[in-house]
A and B are shown apart, each in its own frame.
Chain A
Amino acid sequence: EAGVAQSPRYKIIEKRQSVAFWCNPISGHATLYWYQQILGQGPKLLIQFQNNGVVDDSQLPKDRFSAERLKGVDSTLKIQPAKLEDSAVYLCASSVALAKNIQYFGAGTRLSVL
């Protein structure tokens, strides 16, 4: 079974530039999550999708971050414009259903904003 795929693995940009990350979840997984993990901290949920609908985006900085999962499969997370404090690893995870399920994580995208 293929795991959660993310790209790119690394990205370096200057502040005020835009960046996009892509995630392909495990086939058949209805729930998709984007997390931000700052160095030395645990992951923080940015947004959770159930199929192509948003379940929770309460911690997504909507003035600069956006995410979509148009066909209920792949997802993209965009930052526009980036700030220095956005430097982090962005993790995508997927699970079969909404609750009490194991989440499967991708390898993450390490973003450095200079």
Chain B
Amino acid sequence: KNEVEQSPQNLTAQEGEFITINCSYSVGISALHWLQQHPGGGIVSLFMLSSGKKKHGRLIATINIQEKHSSLHITASHPRDSAVYICAVGLLTQGGSEKLVFGKGTKLTVNP
């Protein structure tokens, strides 16, 4: 079983729709990261959170530590939001460093 599970794997939406991507994990974590990857490979960090909720523009990330679950929401989706969204959990090692374990990603396509 993967330590990080994302759903759905693929998501197609119409412009303006509210989007939710889910992430579940099975281990204790130091932090949870949401990242965006556009075609061509570049990865951009969207959020790093260890509790509660964060908002940046039309993006909202929430985490429930007890349930080991996080969601990424996109309000008023736009075709430029089309990308792969990746959830990653930070695991602290004995040496005090953080190792990121990534989910497989959710491919989002927003049609005009």
Q: B41 touches which one: A91, A93, A99, A100 (CB < 8 A)?
A: A91
CA distance A37 to B45 in the complex (A): 16
Q: Is the interface of B mostly helix, strand, loop or mixed?
A: strand
From known contacts A89-B41, A107-B41, infer whether A55 and B95 are also in contact, taking CB-CB under 8 Å: yes
Report whether B88 and A42 are in contact in the complex, using a CB–CB cutoff of 8 Å.
yes
Interface status of A2 (Cβ within 8 A of chain B):
no
Chain A, Cβ-Cβ closest to B87: A42
List residues of chain B with CB under 8 Å of any chain A CB. 4, 30-31, 33, 40-45, 48, 50, 86, 88, 90, 92-93, 95-100, 102-105
Interface status of A25 (Cβ within 8 A of chain B):
no
Q: A43-B100, A98-B95, A99-B97 are in contact. List 18 more A-B contacts (CB 8 A).
A: A37-B41, A40-B104, A42-B105, A43-B43, A43-B102, A44-B102, A55-B93, A55-B95, A89-B41, A98-B97, A99-B30, A99-B90, A100-B31, A100-B98, A102-B45, A102-B48, A105-B42, A105-B44
List residues of chain A with CB under 8 Å of any chain B CB. 31, 37, 40-45, 48, 50, 55-56, 89, 91, 93, 98-108, 110
Chain A, Cβ-Cβ closest to B98: A99
CA distance A55 to B99 in the complex (A): 10
CA distance A55 to B100 in the complex (A): 13
- The 10 closest A-B CB pairs, nearest first, are A42-B102, A99-B98, A108-B41, A105-B43, A98-B97, A102-B45, A55-B97, A107-B42, A43-B102, A89-B41
Chain B, Cβ-Cβ closest to A107: B42
Q: B40 touches which one: A37, A93, A100, A107 (CB < 8 A)?
A: A107
14 contacts between A and B (CB under 8 A): A41-B105, A43-B100, A45-B99, A48-B97, A48-B99, A56-B97, A89-B41, A93-B43, A98-B95, A99-B90, A101-B98, A102-B45, A105-B42, A105-B43
| Inter-chain contacts of A107 with B (CB < 8 A) | 40-42
